[in-house]
Amino acid sequence: QRSNTTSKPLSPARKNGGGKVLQRSNTTSNTEVVTSWGALVGKVLHCKVLDFGELKDKAIRNRLIQGQDRDTVSQSRMVFRLQERARIIVKQAINLAKKLAKEPDKFDSEWTDQSLLTYLFSTEYLDTLMLLTNIAAKLLGSQPMLATAKAPCKIFGDIHGQLRDLLMYFVAFGNPMEDPTLSLVFNGDFVDRGAHQVEVIGLLLSLKVLYPDRVWLVRGNHEDRMMNEKYGFFDSCLRLLGKDFGPKVFELMQGAFNRLPVACLVAGKILCVHGGIGDGSWRLDDLRTIPRPLESTYITDPANSWIFNILWSDPIEDGKDADPMVFGVHESPRGGFAARFAWNITKTFCARNGLSLIVRSHQSKRGSRGFDVMHENTLVRVFSARDYEGHGNDGAVLQVTEETGKDGKLLLVVRPQVVRSVKKARDEELRRAAEEGRLPEGHARASKKGGHRTPR
């Protein structure tokens, strides 16, 4: 049974920016009833039975969005020329992925190729990266802060500069060049910490320029200047591009990051945000009011803590190992305005906004499968960087398709697609070798090549 105590209130700063704090009810039955009624009322309000003014405002906003200069940007001569260059980059990446798929698997950090920049972006890689970033920033700025993607769609979690993993997904589960119906959503944290950060963001921007209405890049908490300076992207730019051009490319990247959408709505029913929903007091239409460029100073303003939490908040997990007595909104150990939200916040938010599912990323779990389903099937976590920071985790993407049910109604089906952890595969090979009394494959090859020497 759930506890009859109240949840810990948020700090005054979070109250000002994030709306009311939901507390625990006095009894288990009261909690369930309040949440159920909240979800029901939310669905009624979303159907606009009681809110004609909101319906009118939404129609006006949609008309304004349609009237933006998006077509002018996407059809300009410079974009067209750059699309040809982007097409070559993506094709090179797909060819490389097919080649890597035939080789023994390895950690992204073990994969070294000194010619990778020139292979993907040509010998004029500096000019290519700067042009791509400049045009991508203009394209991103012309599209809504709440992006919209169609099914079929694949949703990627954190990549963190692990290019080899990204390429493996393209081979194993499909890519937009070989499937013209496929859309891609990358749910934030493209850079920092990984071994191929510049190559990853260069490839993602190429995909965006080549497929502006099929590839969507959603902002994460690592698409941020301070995070990039602390966790490796700035250093990666300096190391690969030199101290003269590295800072220039880095600054251009920050301009693109500040124009990224903060969310993507897939097939009208699945909301992708990098972190979470915070206290859940905001609505989807509020996202369209967020200004661009979206600087770090604006995000960290206490009045905008709801935006901060879209990038930083985490769910309170449920399941057999979780505390069944916790619900509402709680402070996060991440600090700042970050919040942790429970199942009842997710359910009410989905009902009020006409959603079936929230997809978030942001967290890697040690030894995990790369995805989790929680909050009574209304929330899914997806993380795509395998073996992140030594966690031994699988990597996953989510496949979203439209299928017809037995009753003839159209259903959205979400399936995880997993690429196994390299660490798990190697540990299993070690166990098998020990059981069979032989050397593991890698050790056997090394012995034949280098022989055996007795230490003196």
Spell out the residues 6+ positions from residue 333 whose beta carbon is closer than 8 angstroms to its own.
none
How far is 165 from 419, CA to CA, in rounded Å?
8
Taking alpha carbons only, the member of 412, 375, 366, 427 closest to residue 393 is 366
Q: Beta strand 395-404 with 153-156: parallel, antiparallel or unpaired?
A: antiparallel
222 in catalytic set: yes
Other C-beta atoms closer than 10 Å to the C-beta of 426 total: 18
- DSSP label at residue 57: H
User: How would you classify residue 232: left for phi > 0, otherwise alpha for psi between -120 and 50, otherwise beta?
Assistant: left
Please spell the DSSP secondary structure of 306-351, one letter per residue: HHHHHHH-EEPP-STTS-TT--SEEE-TT-TT-EEE-HHHHHHHHH
Q: Distance between CA atoms of 456 and 300, rounded to whole angstroms? A: 60
Q: Count Cβ atoms below 10 Å from residue 41 Cβ, excluding itself.
A: 14
Query: 260 near 217, Cβ under 8 Å?
Result: yes
Amino acid identity of residue 114, one-letter, is Q
Which of 222, 274, 330, 375 does the annotation list as catalytic? 222
Q: Which residues contact 163 (CB under 8 A, 6 or more apart)?
A: 108, 111, 116, 194, 195, 196, 199, 200, 203
- Distance between CA atoms of 452 and 456, rounded to whole angstroms? 13
Q: How far apart are CA 149 and CA 301, in angstroms?
A: 30
Active-site residues: which are they?
222
